[in-house]
């Protein structure tokens, strides 16, 4: 589909969810996976404490060194609405939230994030690096909360037009180490910035074992999109593996 054809399509009123997504973005240059000037969407996944924040910053710096414009964002969050939902979902004071409500809130934040931030940014040719996306919902709510993958993937098709990252970096490391790191980080954040994001860290090892297994299942199911990175090494060594994956999968000189 050419850019001109995309622009023509965007002017038509549609009723399906995929057409509503294009209509919501028509005030920015047309977004389509075959438009050459489109930016790249790279997501980082993994259990809490796996090093995502460190590695996403390192990749952003490497891309900027090549004069590539980069936007860093996160889920849940990324928009004022999303950040409000994030507070509800991650605050340890939130009690009695059913798994289904938790999943619905995740997708409410994601749908807004996609339309308000991600798609318009990609349409300008800028790269978007996102800390978590739908794979996390499949792992945490589908696996950890045992809602199953199909419920998550169905919501992704309905609310996000089945939009997929160009590349997903899945950081894999020892669960006990990553969880200890995440709990320590959150305690420091709570003490210094008075931000409580410990709700998921209160879950037991069995929960995170299911999350970890779900992430690995996604990597096996979608090997062309998901690059599984062993993150047990030093941050510098892990960064080198991330750069190799980006060069290989996206053909970017870094």
Cα–Cα distance between 20 and 13 in angstroms, integer? 8
Q: Is the alpha carbon torsion for 23, 25, 30, 35 positive or negative?
A: negative
| Gyration radius (Cα) of the chain, Å | 18
Per the DSSP assignment, residues forming a β-bridge with 45 are 170
What's the confidence (pLDDT) of residue 179?
74
Burial class (CB in 10 A: 0-12, 13-18, 19+), 142: buried
Domain for residue 141, yes or no? yes
Let me know if residue 21 belongs to a domain: no
Burial class (CB in 10 A: 0-12, 13-18, 19+), 83: middle
DSSP 108: H
Determine the pLDDT at residue 15. Answer: 39
Three-state SS at 47: coil
Q: How crowded is residue 33: how many other Cβ atoms within 10 Å of its Cβ?
A: 10
Contact 40, 247 (CB under 8 A): no
Q: Which residue has the tokens 């669960």?
A: 175
CATH of the domain at 242: 3.40.50.300
Domain-located, residue 29: no
Q: Which two tokens stand for residue 224?
A: 């062309």
User: What pLDDT is attached to residue 20?
Assistant: 42
Q: Give residue 170's pLDDT.
A: 98
Domain span at residue 151 reads 39-250
Going residue by residue through the chain, which has 254 residues, state the pLDDT in tens, using 9 for 90 and above. 443 443 333 333 333 444 444 443 333 333 444 444 489 999 999 998 889 999 999 999 999 999 999 999 999 999 999 999 999 999 988 888 999 999 999 999 999 999 999 999 999 999 999 999 999 999 999 999 999 999 999 999 999 999 999 999 999 998 877 776 766 665 666 567 556 667 887 888 999 999 999 999 999 999 999 999 999 999 999 999 999 999 999 998 88
Residue 25 lies in a domain: no
Q: Could you give the number of structural domains in the chain?
A: 1
The structure tokens listed for 237 are 């060594």
**pLDDT for position 64:** 97
Question: Half-sphere exposure (CA, 13 Å, Cβ side) for 199?
Answer: 16
Asked, for residue 237, whether it belongs to a domain, the answer is yes
Q: Is residue 23 part of a domain?
A: no
- The DSSP-derived string for 160-217 is HTT---SEEEEEE--HHHHHHHHHHHHHHHHHHH-----TGGGS-HHHHHHHHHHHHH
Tokens of 111: 């749908």
**∠ CA 204-206-208, rounded to 5°:** 75
DSSP 140-158: IIIIIS---HHHHHHHHHH
- CA separation for the pair 91, 228 (Å, rounded): 29
| pLDDT number for residue 109 | 98
Whether 11 is in a domain gets the answer no
Q: pTM for the whole thing?
A: 0.81
Determine the pLDDT at residue 29. 37
| Phi-psi map region of 125: left, alpha, beta (phi>0 left; psi -120 to 50 alpha) | left
Six-digit token pair at 209?
């074992």
177, 253 in Cβ contact below 8 A?
no
User: Is 69 part of any domain?
Assistant: yes
pLDDT at residue 177, rounded to an integer: 76
């Amino acid at each position: 589909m050419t850019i001109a054809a995309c622009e023509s399509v965007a002017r038509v009123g549609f009723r399906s969810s995929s057409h509503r997504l294009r209509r919501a973005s028509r005030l920015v240059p047309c977004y389509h996976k075959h438009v050459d000037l489109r930016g790249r969407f790279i997501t980082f996944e993994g259990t809490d404490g796996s090093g995502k924040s460190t590695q996403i910053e390192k990749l952003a710096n490497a891309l900027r060194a090549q004069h590539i414009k980069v936007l860093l964002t996160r889920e849940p969050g990324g928009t004022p609405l999303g950040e409000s939902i994030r507070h509800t979902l991650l605050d340890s004071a939130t009690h009695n939230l059913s798994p289904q409500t938790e999943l619905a809130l995740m997708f409410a934040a994601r749908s807004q994030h996609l339309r308000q931030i991600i798609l318009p940014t990609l349409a300008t040719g800028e790269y978007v690096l996102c800390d978590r996306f739908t794979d996390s919902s499949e792992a945490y709510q589908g696996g950890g909360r045992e809602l199953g993958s199909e419920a998550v993937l169905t919501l992704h098709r309905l609310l996000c037009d089945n939009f997929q990252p160009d590349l997903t970096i899945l950081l894999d490391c020892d669960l006990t180490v990553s969880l200890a790191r995440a709990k320590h980080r959150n305690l420091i954040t709570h003490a210094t910035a008075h931000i409580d994001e410990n709700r998921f860290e209160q879950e037991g090892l069995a929960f995170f074992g299911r999350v970890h297994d779900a992430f690995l299942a996604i990597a096996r199911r979608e090997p062309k999109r998901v690059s599984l990175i062993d993150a047990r090494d030093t941050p510098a060594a892990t960064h080198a593996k991330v750069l190799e994956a980006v060069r290989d999968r996206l053909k970017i000189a870094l």
